[in-house]
Chain A
Amino acid sequence: MKPSHDDVLLSVQDLHVQYDTDAGTVYAVTGLDLEIQRKHTVALVGETGAGKTTTALSILNLVPNPPGVITKGTILLDGQNILEFGAEELQKMRGNDVAMIFQDPMTALNPVMTVGEQIAESIALHNDVSESEAMKRAKNMLRLVGIDDGRAGEYPHQFSGGMRQRVVIAIALACKPRLLIADEPTTALDVTIQAQQLVLIKDLITNGGMSMLLITHDLGVVAETSDDVAVMYSGRIVERGTTAEVFNDRLHPYTQGLFNSLPNLRKQGEELQPIKGMMPNPMERIVGCPFAPRCEHVMDRCLKEEPVLKEQGGTHAVACHLYDDSTAKDGLHG
Chain B
Amino acid sequence: MQAPTIENTPMKSRSQLQETWRRLLKNKGAIIGMVFLLLLIIAAILSGIIFDYDTQVIGQDIKNRLQWPSREHIFGTDELGRDIFIRILYGSRYSLAIGCGSVAIGLVTGVILGAVAGFYGGVVDQVIMRVNDMLYAIPNIMIAVVIVSLLGTSTFNLLLALTFTCSTSFVRISRASVLSIRGMEYVESAYAMGLPTWKVILKHIIPNSLSPIIVQVTLLIGSMIIAASSLSFLGIGVPSPAPEWGAMLSSGRSQIRNAPYICVIPGLAILFTVLSLNLLGDGLRDALDPKLKK
| Chain A interfacial positions (CB closer than 8 Å to B) | 21-23, 26, 276-278, 293
Contact = CB atoms under 8 A, between A and B. Distances in A.
Contacts of A293: 4
A277 to B, nearest CB: 5
B12 interface: no
12 contacts: A21-B294, A22-B23, A22-B26, A22-B292, A22-B294, A23-B294, A26-B294, A276-B3, A277-B3, A277-B4, A278-B3, A293-B4
Given A21-B294, A22-B26, A293-B4, 9 more contacts: A22-B23, A22-B292, A22-B294, A23-B294, A26-B294, A276-B3, A277-B3, A277-B4, A278-B3
A18 to B, nearest CB: 14
Contacts, number: 12
A40 to B, nearest CB: 36
Interface string B1-43: 0011000000000000000000100100000000000000000
Contacts of B26: 22
Nearest to B22: A22
Interface of B: 3-4, 23, 26, 292, 294
Nearest to A278: B3
A162 to B, nearest CB: 25
A246 to B, nearest CB: 27
Contacts of A26: 294
B75 to A, nearest CB: 41
A67 to B, nearest CB: 10
The 6 closest A-B pairs by CB, nearest first: A277-B3, A23-B294, A21-B294, A278-B3, A277-B4, A22-B26
A277 B5 CA distance: 10
A167 B26 CA distance: 44
A293 B5 CA distance: 12
A256 to B, nearest CB: 19
- The residue among B4, B23, B26, B294 with the most chain A CB atoms within 10 A of its own CB is B294
Nearest to A21: B294
B31 to A, nearest CB: 16
A293 B4 CA distance: 9
Contacts of B23: 22
B14 to A, nearest CB: 11
Contacts of B3: 276-278
Contacts of A277: 3-4
Contacts of A21: 294
A23 B26 CA distance: 11
A295 to B, nearest CB: 12
Contacts of A23: 294
A276 B292 CA distance: 30
Contacts of B294: 21-23, 26
B121 to A, nearest CB: 24
A23 B294 CA distance: 6
A150 to B, nearest CB: 37
A19 to B, nearest CB: 9
Contacts of A276: 3
A293 B26 CA distance: 35
Nearest to B293: A23
A55 B198 CA distance: 48
Contacts of B292: 22
A319 to B, nearest CB: 23
B28 to A, nearest CB: 14
Nearest to B26: A22
A21 B294 CA distance: 7
A212 to B, nearest CB: 31
Nearest to B4: A277
A308 B4 CA distance: 26
Contacts of B4: 277, 293
A276 B26 CA distance: 38
A23 B19 CA distance: 11
A106 B23 CA distance: 33
A35 B3 CA distance: 35
A166 B236 CA distance: 64
A207 B26 CA distance: 54
Nearest to A23: B294
A278 B294 CA distance: 18
A32 to B, nearest CB: 22
A23 B22 CA distance: 11
Nearest to A283: B294
A292 to B, nearest CB: 12
B1 to A, nearest CB: 8
A293 B3 CA distance: 10
A330 B176 CA distance: 63
Contacts of A22: 23, 26, 292, 294
A186 to B, nearest CB: 24
A130 to B, nearest CB: 43
Contacts of A278: 3
